[in-house]
Amino acid sequence: MNARFGMSKTKTLIVTALTTIAVASALAPASAAADPAPGRSEHWGVITRNTVGSPVAALRDGPFGKYDVQGPSARPPYGVGSLGIQVADSSVAAGDAREKVDFGNEVDFHGDPVLGLNRVGFHVFQSGENVTYGGLRNMPNIRFEIDANLSTVPVTDNYTSLVWLPPAAPVTDRWSGYINATTSGTWYLTGAEGTVTGCTSLSPCSFTEVKTRLNDGGAAPVILTVAVGYGRDSMWVGAVDGLRINQNVYDFEADGVRVHRD
């Protein structure tokens, strides 16, 4: 470019270099110009063998209600989505007509130590109608299918469910804060494991108690699967987000499950 056009050769070279950088940046993948997206897990979904009837456990946007709620409690705590759950209490053509569903992961936690659990919980969208259906503690659960490896149970018995019964949701018709499963609510074990530990659905234990009773001197108990679920109980329609398992928070979004690590 000539000087008569108002630009020297040096300026021309600078402009050309800056233009090249701008074009390269525009063509580069987004991940090269910004922080990486949160990790994802592809192994979450409805656990079919633990599902009864035709309940719904689906990743969705929202909920953003109730219509008169504003501020942070009017949206999911992570992102814009959540795990929506809908379970009926009388739709199955059987003696027990109540539905049941588990939305979980049968891959990523397999073999992890049960006694290594130290941070567990979630956020919930509880409705006033759910309280009407089943009372203040009508809430979804966190379930760990585990091999308890108790010395007082036959070695061939390698399955039980470790289930969290949450306390009453602190609010209704909006998103709750984090509900800590290690310090609130109660836990129980199914089958013979519940009987020998004394942590049954009729006589549940604290988180500390159930871990202590699982640590009976035998082989260490291990996790098989992790799930958020509901049933078989009253009707419940609501949502869960921000499931915490130790250092990871699982963010349920309509396009998948994102993993946020402390």
Residues 11, 82 within the same domain: no
Please name the helix (run of DSSP H) or strand (run of DSSP E) that holds residue 31, with its range, or none.
Answer: helix 30-33
In contact, 88 and 55? CB cutoff 8 Å? yes
How many angstroms separate the Cα of 163 from the Cα of each of 17, 127, 131, 227, 260?
62, 22, 20, 10, 24
Q: What pTM was computed for the model?
A: 0.83
Q: What is the pLDDT of residue 19?
A: 46
Residues 61, 31 within the same domain: no
Residues 116, 5 within the same domain: no
What pLDDT tens digit does each residue of the chain (262 aa) get? 443 334 444 444 444 444 444 444 443 333 333 333 457 788 999 999 999 999 999 999 999 989 999 999 999 999 999 999 999 988 887 888 899 999 999 999 999 999 999 999 999 999 999 999 999 999 999 999 999 999 999 989 999 999 999 999 999 999 999 999 999 999 999 999 999 999 999 999 999 999 999 999 889 999 999 999 999 999 999 999 999 999 999 999 999 999 999 7
Residues 6, 121 within the same domain: no
d(CA 117, CA 199) in angstroms, rounded, equals: 17
Q: What is the pLDDT of residue 137?
A: 97
Q: How far apart are the first and last CA of the chain?
A: 54
Residues 198, 156 within the same domain: yes
Domain extent for 8: 1-36
Residues 175, 208 within the same domain: yes
Residues 14, 56 within the same domain: no
Residues 12, 100 within the same domain: no
Residues 10, 50 within the same domain: no
Residues 62, 187 within the same domain: yes
Residues 222, 115 within the same domain: yes
Strand partners, 57: 85
Return the CA Rg of the chain: 25
In contact, 236 and 134? CB cutoff 8 Å? yes
In contact, 109 and 147? CB cutoff 8 Å? no
d(CA 12, CA 5) in angstroms, rounded, equals: 11
Number of domains in the chain: 2
How many angstroms separate the Cα of 240 from the Cα of each of 23, 61, 75, 220, 244?
43, 12, 12, 30, 11
d(CA 11, CA 19) in angstroms, rounded, equals: 12
Q: What is the pLDDT of residue 25?
A: 40
Q: What is the pLDDT of residue 93?
A: 76
* Angle (nearest 5°) at CA 162 between 244 and 153: 145
Nearby residues of 9 by Cβ (< 8 Å), 6 or more positions away: 1
In contact, 89 and 97? CB cutoff 8 Å? yes
Residues 13, 120 within the same domain: no
